[in-house]
């Protein structure tokens, strides 16, 4: 059976095209070899289950790896200590069907009239001493147990057994290694169940080993998957170029990387070009049923402060330290909605998320104001290209009619309004994003692609004539990096004392043509 690109279930190297993550997985292998207990905490569809599957597939020759998941538990399994202990025994039995002695051991445990954590601990010790391999327990979907005190008691039992193991140097006393996988850190579980300050960070899993591992895929890693694909199909595309292009839109978010590849392969007639990547991105963004986007919207609606932060970062170029100890920023990191830029400032994780957030905020704005989107036909010229000067002029006229000179909204909302105005014009054909490497919070480089052409619009807030000239310098330099000869500079200001140009105009600056408008 031919391999496919997978975006829905745990990846299997025999069935799916996969990035070569051998070096990443060596980190987990080292932790297990060193008998560590640890967690794999990453966002949804970030490779957690695939990592656990790698441990099972590649380490079962040396260890007895027992994979468990709490995803399908029922409420009855959590109503008492006895019921939970029996549920755990079932989780031990399920993967041990092929090992009759191991299976029968846990079946016998379930015959005990009443189970508690002390009995369960004794049976774990008895089991680990009876088998001829070191026992590794992995538990997936621990988030399902987030608010349950029984689960935290269970973790405390494992922690205490771990501490006794180390104290007495009896490494068969309990599991050799325990690996928990989920979105949230165990500390987050404690916060939810015991919010008082005294217990806020008293984690029942403080024996977990620390490690540093970036699970996103860089272009070189993406190329390993594309090389595997190319070896099967012999299309002859530029693997390195396409790997870089896929990374440009995804920042290596695993399910988005696979999603682009799957779309190109199955829905775009194997169009492995830059244009094909962009077409795939637009199709992915339009998929309203995509789990990754449903999770994004659900989480920002659940956490209003996170929503406010993401809107400020994406639309207002708000600057805040990514590594700040703050609950809202921590949520953004946990869900992988944020990542650090080169200056350690928080930015939206990838351009696809950025576009989805733009669309979401724009739709919210239109619904709240019952604003009818503009028709795009008049803004497209005979060659099918955008008439960007006309777009800027119409936007300027619209703002002038709707807001008087004393209204202060524009310094705060003007850039968002321009994006709201632009979105329906390019909808379905174009793509737009703000340049993430921009370090100046008062300016925003908006890059628009339409009909295979690129348009750069710098959106600025007025800070005086001298600053306006520096804006031209910045824009011309940026145009040079993108090999473009023309750009657009839109400056927002309602200051009554300032002399402004009456009409937008083309100017020459540092060898570039710049269409400049002050709104």
CATH H-level superfamily of 22-199: P-loop containing nucleotide triphosphate hydrolases (3.40.50.300)
Per cent of the chain over pLDDT 70 is 88
Q: How many CB atoms lie within 10 A of CB 408?
A: 9
* Residue found by looking up tokens 């007495």 in the block: 168
Bridge partners (DSSP) listed for residue 491: 460, 518
Average pLDDT over residues 303-309: 95
The CA dihedral of 40, 42, 44, 50, to the nearest 10 degrees, is -40
Average pLDDT over residues 341-349: 94
d(CA 283, CA 227): 24
Residue 231 has pLDDT above 60, yes or no: yes
Residue 392 has pLDDT above 60, yes or no: yes
Per-residue confidence band for 191, with pLDDT thresholds at 50, 70 and 90: very low
Average pLDDT over residues 243-250: 97
Sign of CA dihedral 438, 251, 350, 302: negative
Instruction: Compute CA 335 distance to the chain's CA centroid, rounded to the nearest angstrom.
Output: 6
Q: How many CB atoms lie within 10 A of CB 352?
A: 25
Q: pTM value?
A: 0.86
Tens of pLDDT along 120-165?
999 999 999 999 999 999 999 888 776 688 988 999 999 999 999 9
The CA dihedral of 229, 234, 238, 244, to the nearest 10 degrees, is -10
Residue 370 has pLDDT above 70, yes or no: no
Which whole-number Å values give the CA distances from 487 to 387, 436, 482, 514, in the listed order? 12, 18, 11, 5
Residue 408 has pLDDT above 80, yes or no: no
Bridge partners (DSSP) listed for residue 513: 486, 508
What is the distance between the terminal CA atoms of the chain, rounded to a whole angstrom? 60
Give the three-state DSSP class for 316.
helix
Report the phi/psi class of residue 345: left, alpha or beta, with left for phi > 0 and alpha for psi in -120 to 50: beta
Q: In terms of pLDDT, which residue wins out, 289 or 199? A: 289
Residue 22 has pLDDT above 80, yes or no: yes
Average pLDDT over residues 268-297: 94
Residue 20 has pLDDT above 50, yes or no: yes
Across the chain, mean pLDDT equals 87
Supply the pLDDT for residue 496.
54
Average pLDDT over residues 389-418: 73
Domains 22-199 and 300-372 in one fold = no
Per cent of the chain over pLDDT 90 is 64
Q: In terms of pLDDT, which residue wins out, 365 or 62? A: 62
**Nearest one of 52, 42, 94 to 72, comparing CA atoms:** 94
CATH number of 300-372: 1.10.10
* Region of poorest pLDDT, from 170-174, 277-281, 405-409: 405-409
Residue 194 has pLDDT above 50, yes or no: no
- Return the domain boundaries, the chain: 22-199, 219-287, 300-372, 373-519
Supply the pLDDT for residue 403.
56
Give the three-state DSSP class for 488.
strand
Residue 306 has pLDDT above 90, yes or no: yes
Residue 383 has pLDDT above 70, yes or no: yes
Per-residue confidence band for 440, with pLDDT thresholds at 50, 70 and 90: low
Supply the pLDDT for residue 454.
93
Tens of pLDDT along 201-228?
456 788 999 999 999 999 999 999 999 9
Supply the pLDDT for residue 195.
42
């Amino acid at each position: 059976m031919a391999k496919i690109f997978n975006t829905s279930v745990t990846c299997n190297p025999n069935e799916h095209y996969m990035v070569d993550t051998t070096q990443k997985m060596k980190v987990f292998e080292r932790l297990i070899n060193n008998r560590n207990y640890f967690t794999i905490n990453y966002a949804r569809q970030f490779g957690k289950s695939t990592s656990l599957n790698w441990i099972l597939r590649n380490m079962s020759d040396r260890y007895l790896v027992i994979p468990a998941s709490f995803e399908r538990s029922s409420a009855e399994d959590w109503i008492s200590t006895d019921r939970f202990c029996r549920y755990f025994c079932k989780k031990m039995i399920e993967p041990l069907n092929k090992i009759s002695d191991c299976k029968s051991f846990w079946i016998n445990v379930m015959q005990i009239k009443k189970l508690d954590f002390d009995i369960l601990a004794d049976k774990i010790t008895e089991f680990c001493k009876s088998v001829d391999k070191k026992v590794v327990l992995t538990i997936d979907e621990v988030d399902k147990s987030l608010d349950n005190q029984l689960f935290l008691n269970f973790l405390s039992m494992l922690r205490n057994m771990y501490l006794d193991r180390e104290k007495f140097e009896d490494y068969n006393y309990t599991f050799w290694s325990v690996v928990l996988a989920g979105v949230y850190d165990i500390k987050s579980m404690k916060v939810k169940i015991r919010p008082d300050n005294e217990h806020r960070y008293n984690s029942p899993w403080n024996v977990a080993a620390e490690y540093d591992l970036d699970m996103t895929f860089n272009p070189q890693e993406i190329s390993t998957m594309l090389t595997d694909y190319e070896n099967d199909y012999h299309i002859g595309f530029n693997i390195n170029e396409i790997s870089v292009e896929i990374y440009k839109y995804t920042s290596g978010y695993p399910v988005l990387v696979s999603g682009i590849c799957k779309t190109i392969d199955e829905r775009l007639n194997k169009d492995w070009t830059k244009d094909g990547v962009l077409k795939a991105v637009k199709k992915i963004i339009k998929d309203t049923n995509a789990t990754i986007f449903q999770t994004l919207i659900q989480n920002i609606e659940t956490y209003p402060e996170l929503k406010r932060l993401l809107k400020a970062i994406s639309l207002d170029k708000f600057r805040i330290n990514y590594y700040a100890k703050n609950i809202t920023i921590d949520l953004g990191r946990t869900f992988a909605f944020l990542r650090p830029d080169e200056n350690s400032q928080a930015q939206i994780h990838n351009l696809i998320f950025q576009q989805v957030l733009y669309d979401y905020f724009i739709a919210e704005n239109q619904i709240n104001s019952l604003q009818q989107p503009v028709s795009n036909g008049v803004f497209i010229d005979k060659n099918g290209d955008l008439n960007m000067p006309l777009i800027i002029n119409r936007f300027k006229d619209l703002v002038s009619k709707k807001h008087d000179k004393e209204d202060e909204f524009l310094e705060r909302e003007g850039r968002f309004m321009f994006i709201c105005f632009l979105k329906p014009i390019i909808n379905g054909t174009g793509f737009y994003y703000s340049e993430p490497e921009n370090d100046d919070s008062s300016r925003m480089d908006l890059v628009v692609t339409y009909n295979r052409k690129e348009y750069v619009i710098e959106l600025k807030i007025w800070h005086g004539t001298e600053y306006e000239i520096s804006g031209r310098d910045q824009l011309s330099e940026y145009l040079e990096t993108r090999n473009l000869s023309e750009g657009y500079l839109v400056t927002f200001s309602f200051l009554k004392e300032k002399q402004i140009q009456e009409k937008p105009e083309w100017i020459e600056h540092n060898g570039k043509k710049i269409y400049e408008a002050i709104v």
